[in-house]
Amino acid sequence: MLTMIGKRLMFAIPSLIGVVIVTFLLTRALPGDPAAYFAGPAANKEAVEQIRKKLGFDKPLIEQFFRYTADLAHGDFGNSLTTGQPVAAEIRNRLPASAELTLLGLLVSIAIALPLGVLAATRPGSWIDHLCRVTTTAGVSLPVFFTGLVLVYIFYFRLGWSPAPLGRLDVFYSAPPTVTGFYLVDTLIARDFEAFRSALSQLILPSLTLAIFSLAPIARMTRASMLAVLASDFVRTARASGLSPGTVIVTYAFRNAMLPVITTLSMVFSFLLGANVLVEKVFAWPGIGSYAVEALISSDFAPVQGFVLTMAVMYVLLNLAIDILYGVIDPRVRLEG
């Protein structure tokens, strides 16, 4: 097991180096001049040059690159110009916000999609199968920001059930002391139940938005893979041996159908983490997606590089976790590994 993890991590190193080089070059190749942007609306040429010098953009590209990698080796991701903060600290603060939202969204999505997919597979052609098809198609074809806005409009603006879409907590609550960075967990640790409820109620709409969007791949994959497994020989044998339908479906078929679903889940998770930019924008969520996009718009190199690098590391770790999970679910994979 440990050797496998070690091996996998070794393989990840070249790709990480590649990511560092490519993001560096890509951000420099972007059109737009950060010095002109940050010199302000009333700057003349000299002011722009002064800013350029201060930011170190007057140096040759190769020197900038070595300085960047040297800083990176010390864990210094540089400073964001738009927010004025060190990128490492910003990502550390914002990643839990995005992760909490994405995880909850994914959980909600799983809670709906898995039963829906299983039911649809056990009764193909029935109303539940059609319901599954319609909801997933609708969910994936509605743009996230649109679903988000509609939800805000109905549940906040019209009905007033949901709190104001103002980020992770109501403005009059203070954030709990950081332990995990997940407000739901931290408020419980701090035994601040009012804040916990505020955090939870702030989370409902955005995570629902994400869930609606990610229903489709999970439900469809569950359905397809369940159908394949249900048609296989061992299920027929199980049925013929007189096992109850529940045991057949849950214990035998479902466990075997899980592998492709897990793969899809990992993809959906990493995809959501990057793609919830729009949800973050709609709900004023202080996550890393909106952070990266804002940085990109203003040619702010450091956060973009930091974001891509963080995402690359996350992908590597996520893939590793999924591979380990495979082994847990299916012993055959363990043997081959």
Partner 1 sequence: MKRRDFLKSVTGVAAGALAPAPAIWSAAKADARSETLLIVSEGGPNNLDIHGVGTNVPGYEVSWNCYDRLISHEMKSGPGGVPYYDRDKFKGELAEDMNVGDMSVTFKLKKNAKFHDGTPVAAKDVKWSLDRAVSVGGFPTFQMSAGSLTKPEQFVMVDDNTVRVDFAKKDRLTIPDLAVIVPCVVNSELVKKNAGEKDPWGLEYTKQQTAGSGAYKVTKWTAGTEVIMERNDEWVGGPLPKIKRVIWRMVPQAGNRRALLERGDADISYELPFKDFQEMKASGKLDVVSLPFSNGIQYIGMNVTKPPFDNPKVRQAMAYAIPYQKIMDAVLFGLANPMFGAATDRPTEVAWPQPTKYSTDMAKAKALLTEAGYADGFETTISFDLNFAGVNEPLCVLVQESLAQLGIKTTINKVPGANWRTELNKKEMPLYTNVFSGWLDYPEYFFYWCYHGNNSVFNTMNYKSPDMDKLIDGARVAAAAGDKATYDTDVKSFVDLAFADVPRIPLYQPFVNVAMQKNISGYQYWFHRRLDYRALVKG
- Where does this chain touch partner 1 (CB under 8 A) — which range of 4-12, 61-69, 75-83, 236-244? 75-83
Question: Which residue type, as a one-letter code, is found at position 52?
Answer: R
3-state SS string over 76-113?
CCCECCCCCCEHHHHHHHHHHHHHHHHHHHHHHHHHHH
Give me the 262-301 binding string for partner 1, x by CB under 8 A, dash otherwise: -------------------xxxx-x---xx--x--xxx--
State which residue, 110 or 282, has the beta carbon closest to partner 1.
282
Among 24, 27, 78, 80, binds partner 1 (CB under 8 A): 80
Residue 39 or 95 having the CB closest to partner 1 = 39
Is the CB of residue 296 less than 8 Å from the CB of residue 81? no
Q: Which two three-digit tokens encode residue 129?
A: 């199968």
When binding is defined by CB under 8 A, the residue of 14, 41, 60, 125 that contacts partner 1 is: 41
Out of 23, 27, 87, 90, the only residue in the binding site for partner 1 (CB under 8 A) is 90
Residue appearing with tokens 């003349």? 44
Cβ(97)–Cβ(50) below 8 Å? no
Q: How far from 240 is each of 21, 118, 284, CA to CA, in Å? A: 59, 21, 56
Residues 183-212 contacting partner 1, CB under 8 A: 194, 197-198, 201
Nearer to partner 1, 113 or 151 (CB): 151
Binding of residue 213 to partner 1 (CB under 8 A): no
Residue 222 near residue 117 (C-beta atoms within 8 A) = yes
Structure tokens at 181: 């960075």
Residues 108-167 close enough to bind partner 1 by CB under 8 A: 149, 152-153, 156-157, 160-161, 163-167
* Ramachandran angles phi, psi of 73, nearest 5°: -60, -30
β-partners of residue 250 are none
Are 219 and 134 spatial neighbours (Cβ–Cβ below 8 Å)? no
Residues binding partner 1 (CB under 8 A): 30-34, 36-45, 47-48, 50-51, 54-55, 80-85, 90, 93, 149, 152-153, 156-157, 160-161, 163-167, 170-172, 194, 197-198, 201, 281-284, 286, 290-291, 294, 297-299
